Each structure stands twice: as structure tokens, then as C-alpha cells.
Amino acid sequence: MTQMTPGFADRVLDAQASFRAILEAMSRPGRVQCIEARLSPPAPLCTAAAAALLALADADTPLWHDAGEAAADWLRFHCGAPITGIIKDARFVLACGAAPSLDAPDIGTDEDPQLGATLILQVAGLVAGEGWRLTGPGIQHEHRLRVLGAPADFVAAWARNQALFPRGVDVLLCAGDNIAALPRSVMMAEG
Amino acid sequence: MYVAVKGGEKAISAAHAWLDETRRGDTTLPELSVAQIEQQMALAVDRVMAEGSCHDRFLAALAIKQAKGDLIEAAFLLRAYRTTLPRFGASAPLETSSMRLRRRISATYKELPGGQVLGPTFDYTHRLLDFALAAEGRDAPATPEAPADTSDVPRVTEFLAREGLMQRESMAETEPGDLTREPLSFPAPRPVRLQNLARGDEGFLLALGYSTQRGYGNSHPFVGEIRVGHIGVEITPPELGFAIDIGDIGITECQMVNQFKGSRTEPAQFTRGYGLVFGHGERRAMSMALVDRGLRARELGEDADAPAQQEEFVLYHSDNIEATGFVEHLKLPHYVDFQSELENLRTIRRAAEAELREAAE
Amino acid sequence: MTEAGYNFAYLDEATKRMIRRAILKAVAIPGHQIPFGAREMPLPYGWGTGGIQVTASILGPQDVLKVIDQGADDTTNAVSIRRFFTRVAGIATTDATGEASIIQTRHRIPEKPLTENQILVYQVPQPEPLFKLEPHRAETRRIHALADYGLMHVRLYEDIARLGHIAKAYDYPVMVNERYLMSPSPIPAFDNPKMHQMAALQLFGAGREKRIYAVPPYTPVRSLDFEDHPFRPIRAPHACAICGSRTSYLDELITNDAGGRAFICSDTDYCQERQEAPKAAAE
């Protein structure tokens, strides 16, 4: 059995700093933020995805994932999040491999759209200032974001998610210690 | 030129110092100890534990002392403390037929197994001020005590249920909700309603319960039973896998028997209004039982137009910590909004005056 | 140093996570009220517990906090809340709008435009903009789901029919991103236009009513009005007796019992800065 790596070095302040980076990402869609907490989560988990889950997930938020046993043990131990195999039951959906369809998780209801899940997608890289053209709340004119290793046909899938508004899912894109967000309110066009 | 007044910080410190001084009162008199409050203001302690939603006699007594006897303020202190405590788990349901009774009465049967036990009650006292109490140092003589009966005392409603005359309660399959962690949403399930009422303001529950007796809500209640006493609380720690007793709490339980005319699917039978509160609180438990029954109107297919039957109205306004905060927040400065209203009113009046002048010309 | 026996910023970590999740959903669905498990705070409900819980959940040691009530840093409740955070989080505080990274407010938006590096946290007594028209929350939830806000338009139009203009002076309802009707909290209508396309993130916390909502930066916020009766911000038509501002929102003071009045800026930091500006220029 391999030694389990630690979670946040400072569980209070690292969680706070990680949350603020995520909040900033969510408030200004397409801008890339950096997670400063030092983490060495088991593969394939990247720092940003691990920090997001440590900061936000717990016993009250079922988690669906495709990250394998080592990552699951780590997340179970450090977050206490119940792992579910049913994607519709999950509040957080972590995809390290092929991303699930955006309408696979819970998308909430018109009265309770906040029940729409948060998808954490691990991608190869995030580059601001080029790529997709993003508009909507949080964006003064236009933000541009290139996502290396984005799921195929993502722009069309996003348009379908966006059309469900206020229902839908919100996406955190994670690469290394970088994070960017796509709240369901944002509109996306090919760059 | 006008110079703005400052000094909020100093004023607050001075006000708090003055508050401390007035709490102590005349220093030539002995200071009240928390233990004295706990022992001699026991019913106030019980009320504060119930509304403060935390069973701890010492902390409740301390809160009463700190609040200068303002029980809502004391309940607030206890709630604010309670909210910082870690949550270890949920206890097993209490089996009240096995509680150690100090008092147990039924209004529906003259005699019944377990008997009628009057216990320490104000009932049948003549409400004459006892000036002998003003002379201190006179301890009440010990009351003779019968040997404790440790056998279970079955609940009155159970006799009726065995006969099929009392509607059985359905056991919830899921863990009951907890409104200290999840906000209310409607329709609220009965366990959440009961939790809300158990910590609700006694005066509010009393008035609502009273209203159901006066025709606002069609209820015909009988006190099936009131029982007061102590009971052990058990939890099952996941690492042990079996239940352990973590201590005793004092409780009051009230089961009201209400008529139900029956429906197409259900024969006529009695239905229950239920009250369970911390400590010795008969008025609170009875009022809770009346309101619980009122809130069941819709599920029982009855009209639900009386105040005590309106779930949102009752549950959103029962909490005296929320209510007192919001009523008292009107003391905070509102001059920014008031100024906007002033300008608004002046504009409306100017327009009206101009119109009148025009009409006159 | 922070208060012994309590976690940083008072709330336990599980509660902060719950509130943080609510805040993120609030940002993703601008103007929609997210129910959350508000905790009892050591300050009374109605005195800013919602704002305090939001601030406590976002606050870090690097933050500089400003707290205002009625636009002023020195009002008693603002002092009390600022002291609370100094005690439980040991963070730096300021009166200067420009120096703050988080501003918690009751009833005002600062006069000085906020920047991208700031977060404005509003204390909200009543998050439901429709509550006077429809007290049942089960029903208002349905109305928001359908975005069926005819009720509010009728209410405003009744004002026009009766009084010739919309008589709502504060807590003037707004449409956020043309989807959700939202209460801006009881700020004077004068402040409403500042919410539109604000560079800073705006978070709203209602503790007693257990709701959190948000307006992301650069989001359209439109005060409800009619083509023939456009929205008009209201302000006393005077100049500040201290700094002379003719554009800031003014408090009216009664200076004697013979009808004497003075008007001064409600935003004390703005007023202070304007008093110091000529001095600085002279030096």
C-alpha cells in the first residue's frame, strides 16, 4: 500500500485561497486563475481539480468521478464526499478522461436551478486571450479562452446547456494549477 | 459649517459597560449564582433550553444570568453558542414509554395502567401570592416519596391504536430533515414541522393553539396524556456499531387526541397532535400538540384556512430569535431610506399642489 | 490575534463550504436566490447576519475590510460588525473605499466607483422582491421559475396611475441580466444605477430568510420602469454642507427646532476625501 499524500497544508487558509480563485474564475468566465496551494494528489488528479474538491466537496455533496481508485481513496479521505456511480445523483462530477455529456448530470429545475451540478473537467491546458469568444455576465466586452484538449464539439454542447438557463451545469476547467470557469450563464462562440 | 458627529465605537463600549453594571444591580445584595438560577428558576431554564435548542441546564442558566432574565435574549445566547458546536451524529428515537416519570396525567381515562401521577404542578394551587416566600431561609419540608416504579408505562394513545381507533403514525424511512442545517422549504415534512415547533416561541405557540380551540381551525382536542420526566439518550457511534447511553435529559410529552371524521379511504378514527419539548414545559408541549394537529389539516383532507393550519405562516413566524432580531432591527438607523421617502413625498406633494394651483387659475 | 476558541472568521469549515457552494451557484445564476442553511450568528437576525456569513466565507488574511451602514463607517452597527471581524479573523480594516478588497454594506453603495479587485457584500433583510405582493414563498418561487413578473409591473403602474410616477424610494426592484427580478436590498433608488455593469462582484446575504444571491461583474441591472415613465434616481436637491458635493447622496439633518436643516454626504469616506483633496492640491 502506498502512502497517502496530504491534503491542504493549512485546511482553513488554503481552502479560503482556493475558493477565492474559483470565485474569481466563476465571476470572470474565461479568465485563468492560479491555485496557489501546494498539493501532490495521486494521478490523474491535477492540483487545481484537487484543490477545488478539497475546498468545496464534503459529506453533503456526492461525487461522481472517473479518476480511479487511488484518487477516489484520496478524495474520500480528505473531503469525506460520498462517491456515487450514478452521475445524476452527484453534486460534483470530476472527469479526468473523456468528459460526460453536459446533460448527463443533474441540471436542476426551474424553481431550483442551483441543484444543477458542477463539472470539474481536467484538460491539457488553458490559454487566455485566444480561442473561444465568451460573452455574458462577468465579461465586460469579450473574454477569449483556448482550452487544450477540450471535449469534441464542446461549443455546440455548451450552446445546448446555455439554452437550458436557468437550469444547466457549471464547469470548472482545470489544468495543472490553472483554473477557469464556465458558469451556465456564459455564451460561447468558436474563436 | 456643519461638523459630523463621530464616536460610535466609544458609545458602544460605554453602553456595554453600563449594561454590565445594571446586570449586577445593587452590589450590597449577594450576587446570583448560576447554580441558584439553575435550581430555583428551573422552568425559565427549561424554556431557554427549548427555545435555545440546546439541552444544557448550566449554559441555559448562565445565559439567563447574562441576559438579566430576558428569556428570549437568553435563548439567543444559547443558540449562538450551539451553532458553533460540532455535530457528532443523530440520537436513536426516544422510547417515552420507558421514561422515568415525575408526572403523568390523562384527561381521557379516569384510571389507566401506570396511574395518574400529579407530580410537582401549579395545577390546583390557589394563585395567592405567598408572602411567606419573601421571608428567606425557610426551606420547604421534604415531600414523602414512594419507591420508584421502574416498569414501563404504556402511552394512552397506544391503547386506542390497538383498538384501531387511533391513526398510527407512519415511520419515516429516511433520516428526518434538520432545519438547523437546511433552510425550510414547502410543503415541509412533519418531522421538520415538529422540530420547528419544539423550538418555537412559547407565546406564539400558545396563541395559535388557543385560536384552534376558539374556532380558527376545526379541532376537538382531548389531552390523551401529558408525561414529564427523564429519559436516557442513546447514540450509535459508527465505529462501535452498537448503541450507548450518553446521558439523561428532562422532557415533557403531550399527545392530544383529536377527532377525525374519516374519508372515503379511511374509516373515522382519532388522530394525534404531538408535542415534545425539553424540560418541564406543559404549556409549550400542549400548544405544540394543538398546532401540530392544525398543520396536519391538509394531509387529512380538511379545510386549511385558519392561521394555525397555514404551514408557511406558522413555520416562518414561530422562531423568536428570528422574529426578535427583525423586529428589533428597526432600531438600527434607516435614515438613508427615510431620506429617499422624504424626497419622494415632497415631490408628490409639490406635484399635487401644482395641479391644485392650475385648477384654481 | 483572533478570538481564542473560534475558527478563523468564526464559522466552522463545513459551514463555510456550504456557503461557498451557494455563492458559486449564485454567481452562475445572476439574481436567483439560493436557499442556504444560514446559521445563528452572535449578532441578531436582521442586523446583518446574512452579510456577515457571506463575508466570513470569502474573507482571507490578505483582505482589507470596510464596513458601512447608511454609507458611514462610524455608525454603531458598522462599528460592531467591523469589531466582530477584527476579533474573529484578525484582518485589516479601513474606512477608505479605494483601499478595501471587501466592502460589507447596509443600505448604500459607495459613491466612488468600485474596481475589479473589490467585492461588495450587501446585508439583505428581505431577499424576495415580490414579498409585499405575494407573501407565500412557495408561490414567489413559481413566479421566478416562470419569470412571470406581471404582478410587479402592475404594482408600479398603479403608482403611476395614482401619483403620476413610481413611488418606490428604496429597495427599488431590478431585473438582472433580463432574467431574474431582484431586490437590490434597501439601498435608495439613487444607488440602483451603480449596480449596472459594476466592475466589482456583488454578493447579497439574507441570514434570517436564508438566501444568498449575486450579481457578477459587468452584468446588466435594469431598474424596472416604463417607456413613458423612465426610472428616476432620487436625491435631495442640495449641496453637501461639508464638502459641497452636488452629486452625492445626502442625509438630511435637523439642526434646530425652528425648521433648520442641513444636508451632508451619506458616504462619509467620499466626503472626507473631497475635504482633503483641496488641501492636498494646495500642498
Question: What does the alpha-carbon distance between residue A62 and residue A46 come to, in Å, rounded to a whole number?
Answer: 20
Distance from CA of A75 to the nearest CA of C (A): 15
Question: What does the alpha-carbon distance between residue C74 and residue C200 come to, in Å, rounded to a whole number?
Answer: 23
Q: Chain B residues with CB inside 8 Å of C184's CB?
A: none
* pLDDT at residue C227, rounded to an integer: 87
Residue A50 touches chain C, beta carbons under 8 Å: no
Q: Kindly determine whether residue A27 and residue C27, on different chains, have CB atoms separated by under 8 Å.
A: yes
Burial class (CB in 10 A: 0-12, 13-18, 19+), A102: buried
Distance from CA of B47 to the nearest CA of C (A): 18
Give the list of residues 6+ apart from residue C65 with CB closer than 8 angstroms, or none. C55, C59, C82, C85, C91, C92, C93, C94, C100, C101, C102, C103, C104
C240 as an active site residue: the answer is yes
Cell of B300: 387529512
Catalytic one among C48, C71, C205, C271?
C271
Q: Chain C residues with CB inside 8 Å of B3's CB?
A: 242
Q: What is the DSSP letter of C1?
A: -
- In this structure, what is the dihedral angle of CA atoms C259, C262, C266, C268, given to the nearest 10 degrees? -140
Give the list of residues 6+ apart from residue B58 with CB closer than 8 angstroms, or none. B34, B38
* pLDDT at residue B259, rounded to an integer: 83
Q: Kindly determine whether residue C25 and residue A170, on different chains, have CB atoms separated by under 8 Å.
A: yes
Q: Kindly determine whether residue A13 and residue C16, on different chains, have CB atoms separated by under 8 Å.
A: no
Nearest to C30 among A23, A60, A137 (CB): A137
Chain C interface test: which of B66, B73, B84, B321 (most C C-beta within 10 Å): B84
C98 as an active site residue: the answer is no
Question: What does the alpha-carbon distance between residue C103 and residue C100 come to, in Å, rounded to a whole number?
Answer: 6
Residue count (chain B):
361
A138-174 pLDDT tens trace = 999 999 999 999 998 999 999 999 999 999 999 999 9
Q: Chain A residues with CB inside 8 Å of C34's CB?
A: 114
What residue ranges do the domains of chain A occupy? 11-183
* pLDDT at residue C1, rounded to an integer: 44
- Other residues' Cβ atoms within 10 Å of the Cβ of residue B350: 10
Catalytic one among C5, C205, C240, C260?
C240
CB-CB contact of B201 with B297 (8 Å): no
- Bond preceding residue A105 cis, omega within 30 of 0: no
Cell of C161: 396611475
Distance from CA of A140 to the nearest CA of C (A): 5
Cα B92 to Cα A48, B96, B107, B286, distances in angstroms = 41, 12, 29, 24
CB-CB contact of C170 with B340 (8 Å): yes
Q: In what order do the strands lie in the sheet with B100-105?
A: B100-105, B222-235, B244-260, B269-278
C244 as an active site residue: the answer is no
Q: Considering only residues C65 and A1, tell me which one the structure prediction assigns the higher pLDDT.
A: C65
Mean pLDDT of A89-113: 97
Q: Is A56 helix (H, G, I), strand (E, B) or coil?
A: helix
Show which of residues 180-209 on chain B sit within 8 Å of chain C, judged by CB atoms.
180-187
Note the pTM of the prediction, 2 decimals: 0.92
Q: In what order do the strands lie in the sheet with A178-182?
A: A33-34, A178-182, A170-175, A118-122, A92-95, A63-65
Distance from CA of C185 to the nearest CA of A (A): 20
Quick one: CA dihedral B276, B277, B281, B283, positive or negative? negative
Task: Name the region of A42 (left: φ>0; alpha: ψ -120 to 50; beta: rest).
Answer: beta
Pick the CATH number of A11-183 from 3.30.200.20, 3.40.50.11310, 3.10.20.880, 3.40.50.12500: 3.40.50.11310
E strand segments, chain C = 34-35, 64-69, 92-93, 102-106, 119-123, 174-176, 180-182, 201-206, 211-215, 221-223, 250-254, 261-265
* pLDDT at residue A22, rounded to an integer: 98
Burial class (CB in 10 A: 0-12, 13-18, 19+), B307: middle
B23-65 pLDDT tens trace = 999 999 999 999 999 999 999 999 999 999 999 999 999 999 9
Q: What is the DSSP letter of B361?
A: -
- Other residues' Cβ atoms within 10 Å of the Cβ of residue A60: 16
- Other residues' Cβ atoms within 10 Å of the Cβ of residue C8: 21
* pLDDT at residue A82, rounded to an integer: 93
Radius of gyration of chain C (CA): 19
Grid cell 461522481 in the structure block, residue: A64
Q: Kindly determine whether residue B332 and residue C69, on different chains, have CB atoms separated by under 8 Å.
A: yes
* pLDDT at residue B6, rounded to an integer: 62
* pLDDT at residue A123, rounded to an integer: 97
Residues linked to residue B102 through DSSP beta bridges, in sequence order: none
Q: What one-letter code names the amino acid at C143? A: I
Helices then strands, each counted (H, E), chain C: 7, 12
ipTM of the prediction: 0.97
CB-CB contact of C201 with C121 (8 Å): no
Q: pLDDT tens string for chain B (361 positions)?
A: 455 556 677 888 899 999 999 999 999 999 999 999 999 999 999 999 999 999 999 999 999 999 999 999 999 999 999 988 888 888 999 999 999 999 999 999 988 888 899 999 999 999 999 888 888 777 777 887 777 777 888 888 888 888 888 888 887 778 888 999 899 999 999 999 999 999 999 999 999 999 999 999 877 899 999 999 999 999 988 778 899 999 999 999 999 999 877 777 778 889 999 999 999 999 999 999 999 999 999 888 888 999 999 999 999 999 999 999 999 999 999 999 999 999 888 888 888 888 888 888 7
| Chain C nearest-CA residue for B341 | C169
Compute CA C200 distance to the chain's CA centroid, rounded to the nearest angstrom.
13
Positions in chain C short of pLDDT 50: 1
Cα B232 to Cα B100, B183, B247, B249, distances in angstroms = 9, 29, 6, 6
Residue B337 touches chain C, beta carbons under 8 Å: yes
